[in-house]
């Protein structure tokens, strides 16, 4: 059995894990913001019927961003 429990259950290990996650999640938030902007820009560029298709994609991109921010806050709070 690979046993890294000592490392991850120590304060130092936990802190390293937390910082690593926060960095990754911050990058993911930045990525999600880019996606939201790109979707918005492309929807302005051309309009395709049915209208709800573009709107669904716009909403999904925002949902992704919201979930990413929520994950960041949860990591900050509980880890």
Partner 1 sequence: MPDIFQSNSNKTTASTTSTPAVQNTSTPTPSNTSSTPAGPLTKASIAAQNIANMPQTAMNLFSTLSIKPQGVNFANQDPNENVILFFRADFITNTFWIFATIFLVFVPILFVILAPMVNLSLAMLNPQANFIILYFYYLLVFSYAFISFMYWFYNVGIVTNKHIIGVQFSDVTYKNISTTPLQEVADIDFSQQGFSQTFFDYGTVSVQTEGINPKIDFVKIPEPGKVTDIILQIREVLNE
Interface residue list for partner 1 (CB under 8 A): 1-5, 8-9, 14, 17, 21, 24-25, 28, 31-32, 34-35, 38-39, 41-42, 44-51, 53, 56-57, 60-61, 64, 67-68, 71, 74-75, 78-79
Quote the CA–CA distance of 54 and 52 in Å, as a whole number.
6
Residue 50, preceding peptide bond in cis (omega within 30° of 0): yes
The least distance separating partner 1 from the CB of residue 49, rounded to whole angstroms, comes to 3
Q: Select 12 or 44, whichever has its Cβ closest to partner 1.
A: 44
Handedness of CA 44, 48, 50, 56 (dihedral sign): negative
């Amino acid at each position: 059995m690979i046993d890294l429990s000592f490392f991850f259950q120590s304060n130092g290990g936990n802190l390293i894990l937390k910082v690593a996650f926060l960095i990754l999640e911050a990058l993911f938030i930045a990525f999600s913001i880019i996606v939201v902007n790109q979707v918005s820009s492309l929807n302005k560029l051309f309009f395709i019927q049915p209208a709800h298709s573009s709107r669904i994609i716009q909403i999904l991109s925002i949902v992704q961003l919201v979930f990413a921010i929520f994950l960041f806050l949860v990591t900050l709070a509980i880890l």
